[in-house]
Amino acid sequence: MTDRPAPPTADDVRTMLRAVIDPELGANIVDLGMAGEVTVTPAGAVTIGIKLTIKGCPLRAQIKNDIESRVETHPGVTKVTIDWGEMTATERSEVMTKARWNAREGASDTAVPINARVLAIASGKGGVGKSSVTANLAVALAAHGRTVGVLDADIWGFSMPRMLGMAERLEARRIEGHDKPRIIPNERHVGAGLLKVVSTGMLVDDESTALMWRGLMLTKAVEQFLNDVHWGNLDFLLIDMPPGTGDVQMGLARMLPRTDLIIVTTPATSAQKVAIRAADMARRSFLRVAGVIENMSAFTCEHDSTYPLFGEGGGAALAAEIGAPLLGQVPIEPAVARGSDNGEPIAAAGNSPAAKVFRDVAQQIIDSTVPATEMAGCSARSADAVEVAIRTKPAGQRT
Ligand SMILES: Nc1ncnc2c1ncn2[C@@H]1O[C@H](COP(=O)(O)OP(=O)(O)O)[C@@H](O)[C@H]1O
Ligand SMILES: [Mg+2]
């Protein structure tokens, strides 16, 4: 690189920190008051003061990772240093009050549960396999026993109903505790897991839904899916992004700043072009790139000859360019397209090389997500969490 991009302002950094969720306390670290002073030098060295509820908190490593990778996303950042501190008893009790309030109010600003890991599948252009990747990762994660939400954000070019074999109409229903009717996602069991899917391909012009979707705009539709869907519990939310346009990405960044991007590319797509777009998007929206998937990689025929029909090296080059891991290379396989057309993504049970790559990527995603059991190691917070649970959650109310 020639000119180094300008460093972010302290406010920019605070915006990025809003994407860092303390999963145990159910809110972002800025709202919780854990983020303290932020300084940025002209050379792009960022120092962030973070106060933990107690110093030995087991979530420290995760919070550190999360902060570093979010803030390093900004191209003008050269170094991230965290200045750790510990809250006073008074500060701790303030945080707990906030956590209580969050628990009572249903935590997040959207209807997406705060503990769900949100992954948006995006690319520089259409036709590279975003939807195929979304569908296959969804079934592969579900096959691990996870509950996986799928939001088809390709409002006009939806493919989730076809690819997941779920075309039933969405229902809107009144749910206790909400004044507006809520959209109920379509469900499908996969192995021990569950898919919960919403797509504009599942809408019908009956009265309740027509009202809800009147004056539909791209970003508004996604906003409604984030706000008005009764997701219930989710381990993951996968978002199949529309091609091109940054509007949806920007809306998502505003509403769900903890969204991580998975960028799909082909072996032949110019890594630099995609990287520039991704970096540009990251700069404007502060979304983190969790990794790159190369799709339509070399096709291997039954005689074991390999044909790089669509070129080679695009995924690795893009990953290197944006400093994100290359999660996998999915070969070209007629079975991938067939599975999509039949509503049976091959990653659920198939044994082909492509199916294995999808499952391997799903495994990497699971491995990089801290399971709830590991969060419950912090006794001071656990004691408070129990108190929160007892005080604010009447049995069976929280979903
Ligand atoms: N690995 C693959 N092997 C063979 N066909 C594929 C593969 N990935 C995607 N396809 C096919 O390519 C087309 C475009 O894929 P799609 O997932 O709809 O892309 P996007 O969502 O990026 O527009 C579809 O017909 C799909 O079945
Ligand atoms: Mg698509």
Q: What is the pLDDT along the chain (399 residues), one digit of tens a residue?
A: 457 789 999 999 999 999 898 877 778 899 888 999 999 999 999 999 999 888 777 778 888 988 998 898 888 999 999 999 998 888 888 888 777 776 665 545 678 888 889 999 998 778 899 999 999 999 999 999 999 999 999 887 889 999 999 989 888 888 887 778 888 999 999 999 999 999 988 875 555 554 555 555 666 778 888 888 999 999 999 999 988 657 777 788 778 888 888 999 988 877 667 777 766 666 667 778 889 999 988 766 666 676 666 667 788 888 888 788 999 999 999 999 999 999 999 999 889 999 999 999 999 999 887 554 444 444 444 445 445 454 444 444 444
Q: Are 256 and 338 in the same domain?
A: yes
In a domain, 354, yes or no: yes
* Ligand 1 atom closest to 123 (CA): 22
pTM of the model: 0.78
User: Residue 150 half-sphere exposure, CB side, CA atoms within 13 Å?
Assistant: 36
263 bridge partner residues: 122, 292
Q: Are 151 and 298 in the same domain?
A: yes
In a domain, 243, yes or no: yes
* Ligand 1 atom closest to 133 (CA): 17
CATH number at residue 356: 3.40.50.300
Q: Are 213 and 233 in the same domain?
A: yes
Domain that holds residue 88: 10-107+371-392
In a domain, 2, yes or no: no
Would you say the CB of residue 127 lies under 6 angstroms from ligand 1? yes
Q: Are strands 35-40 and 45-52 parallel, antiparallel or unpaired?
A: antiparallel
In a domain, 5, yes or no: no
Tokens of 322: 């944006």
Q: Are 192 and 322 in the same domain?
A: yes
Tokens of 327: 């999660």
C-alpha 142 to ligand 2 mean position (Å): 20
Beta strands in 256-320 (DSSP E): 260-265, 288-297, 299-300, 306-307
The C-alpha atoms of residue 155 and residue 240 are separated, in whole angstroms, by 10
In a domain, 112, yes or no: no
Would you say the CB of residue 244 lies under 6 angstroms from ligand 1? no
Tokens of 269: 């797509």
Q: Are 377 and 361 in the same domain?
A: no
In a domain, 4, yes or no: no
Count other C-beta atoms under 10 Å from residue 132's C-beta: 26
The conformation of residue 235, written as its DSSP 8-state character, comes to S
Q: Are 75 and 156 in the same domain?
A: no
Q: Are 305 and 380 in the same domain?
A: no
In a domain, 1, yes or no: no
Task: Yes or no: say if 260 and 118 are a contact pair by the CB < 8 Å rule.
Answer: yes
Q: Are 214 and 351 in the same domain?
A: yes
Q: Are 223 and 306 in the same domain?
A: yes
CATH number at residue 96: 3.30.300.130
Ligand closest to Cα of 264 equals 1
**Long-range contacts for 375-379 (Cβ within 8 Å, ≥24 apart)?**
375/23, 375/24, 375/58, 375/59, 376/24, 377/58, 378/24, 378/53, 378/54, 378/56, 378/57, 378/58, 378/59
Count other C-beta atoms under 10 Å from residue 16's C-beta: 27
Most informative mutation of 295, 340, 342, 356 for ligand 1 (most atoms within 8 A of CB): 340
Nearest CA to ligand 1 atom 25: 337
- Total domains, the chain: 2
Q: Are 151 and 215 in the same domain?
A: yes
Ligand closest to Cα of 295 equals 1
In a domain, 3, yes or no: no
Q: Are 79 and 154 in the same domain?
A: no
Q: Are 25 and 136 in the same domain?
A: no
Would you say the CB of residue 337 lies under 6 angstroms from ligand 1? yes
